[in-house]
Amino acid sequence: MNIEPLKHLHGAVVAIDGPAGVGKSTIARTISDHLGYYFVNSGNFYRAITYTALHRNIDLTHEDQIITVARSVRLTLKDDLLAVDGEIVEGFLHTDEVDAWVAGHSAIISVRDIVNENLRRLAREGLNIVCEGRDITTVVFPHARFKFFLDASPHVRAERRYHQQETRYSIDEIEQKIAERDVIDRNKVYGALKISEEAIYIDSSYLTIDEVYVKVLQAMLDQLGE
């Protein structure tokens, strides 16, 4: 597979959506590493806001205070890692505490608007980016040239999450939490998780990372040749 034509694009956006625990970050990171694109995990932008609220002892149930936090922080990429006000926070975003609150915070419309503007700013700078999340193909970058929707069964996603991070929960408990998260994500008033008509659907339940990577890259090359 000759991926050189993809490396020489300018301002290309690869938009990837899918539910929690489906492996979007791993796939997006693999694609960005091979193509020399910037990797953007939109979920980490929301997690950074929740993390900051926790760090500042903000009332996590108070929407206005969460919005104030979102407006006050400067979210940037530093050495390809997410930074809050210049401090890299990537290693602190996947904890049980952040997991417990981030879905609710990401459902706040004003918070989504703030995060989306940060994401679009990266694209306006002419960078080639691989951006993954819940509404990247439908809301954030609806006109992206390359769109994908990754999926997997809830049980497979729970197993992946269990082995991905330290947790006090069992696989069954994680699966229940993932199911609850899916309900929240699919029923958001704004930015709900859904499959864009233009997105290429890939069920990754029984595929390796390499197999998914090949499917995505081949689809990109096919679109480039159209």
Whole-number pLDDT of residue 205: 92
| Region 90-113 average pLDDT | 92
Architecture of domain 18-214: 3-Layer(aba) Sandwich (3.40)
At residue 45, the pLDDT reads 95
- Using CA atoms, how far apart are residues 98 and 92, in angstroms rounded to an integer? 9
Q: Which two three-digit tokens encode residue 209? A: 């990372």
**What sign does the CA torsion over 1, 128, 133, 47 have?**
positive
pLDDT value at residue 226: 59
d(CA 53, CA 66): 7
| Contact of 133 with 19, CB cutoff 8 Å | no
Query: CA-based Rg of the chain, rounded to a whole angstrom?
Result: 17
pLDDT of residue 81: 87
Res. 29 pLDDT band, cuts 50 70 90: very high
Model pLDDT, residue 48: 97
Picking from 102, 76, 108, 101, the residue whose alpha carbon sits closest to that of residue 89 is 76
The tokens describing 57, both together, are 């002892």
- pLDDT value, residue 166: 78
Q: Which of 14-18, 59-63, 94-98, 186-190 is predicted least confidently?
A: 186-190
Q: Which amino acid is at 103?
A: A
pLDDT tens digits, residue range 50-90? 999 999 999 999 999 999 999 999 998 888 789 999 999 99
What percent of the chain clears pLDDT 90, i.e. is strictly above it?
A: 69
| In the chain, % of residues over pLDDT 70 | 100
Q: Where are the domains of the chain?
A: 18-214
107, 61 contact by CB (below 8 A): no
State the pLDDT confidence band at 158, using cuts at 50, 70 and 90. very high
Distance CA(141)–CA(28), nearest Å, equals: 15
Residue 132 phi, psi (nearest 5)? -125, 150
Average pLDDT, the chain: 91
Report pTM: 0.84
The model's pLDDT over 170-179, given as tens digits with 9 standing for 90+, comes to: 999 999 989 9
What is the tens place of the pLDDT at every residue in 117-131? Answer: 999 988 888 889 999
Given a cut of 90, whether residue 102 has pLDDT beyond it is yes
Helix (H, G, I), strand (E, B) or coil at 81: strand
